[in-house]
Amino acid sequence: MFTPRPADAPRGIEFGKFQLGNMVVGDIIECGSDVTDYAVGDSVCGYGPLSETVIINAVNNYKLRKMPEGSSWKNAVCYDPAQFAMSGVRDANVRVGDFVVVVGLGAIGQIAIQLAKRAGASVVIGVDPIAYRCDIARRTVLISALTPLALT
């Protein structure tokens, strides 16, 4: 999902040298007295700014999650895109035998094609102008993936 871009690959909009994102993963280093579900040392993931240290309200915060022991931060940062992908597959009411087309094979699209297959879709087609993303989709889920610019 989150793979390094080859040096010669086309790039989207650039916002300087920093990386954008909204998911943080780390270990709790301090807890307030009202926090009962988490403890110092717990590995967690949630929403927050990209920063070395983040203060997150841990009381009744459904967006903060404990990570299973031994799990990878790479899996944890898929939590947010996975929610959007799951919503799309559910809203589309994907069922056994359906034909599904996913336009855009970034993180959310890559997860959506996997969920559509698992929901029983017999044909899943991914479309993305970046050939590398189509290659990932083909290897991951064995779907048909099209790069529209290559068709012209």
Q: How far apart are the first and last CA of the chain?
A: 27
79-151: CATH homologous superfamily?
Answer: NAD(P)-binding Rossmann-like Domain (3.40.50.720)
What global pTM score does this model have? 0.69
CATH 3.40.50.720 residue window(s) in the chain: 79-151
Q: pLDDT 10s digit of each residue in the chain, 152 long?
A: 445 667 777 655 555 555 456 788 889 999 999 999 999 999 998 887 767 777 888 888 878 889 988 888 888 888 888 999 999 999 999 999 999 999 999 999 999 999 999 999 999 999 999 999 999 999 988 778 888 876 65
Task: Write out the E strands in the chain.
Answer: 23-27, 43-47, 65-66, 99-103, 123-127, 144-146
Please state, as a whole number, how many other Cβ atoms lie within 10 Å of the Cβ of residue 148. Answer: 10
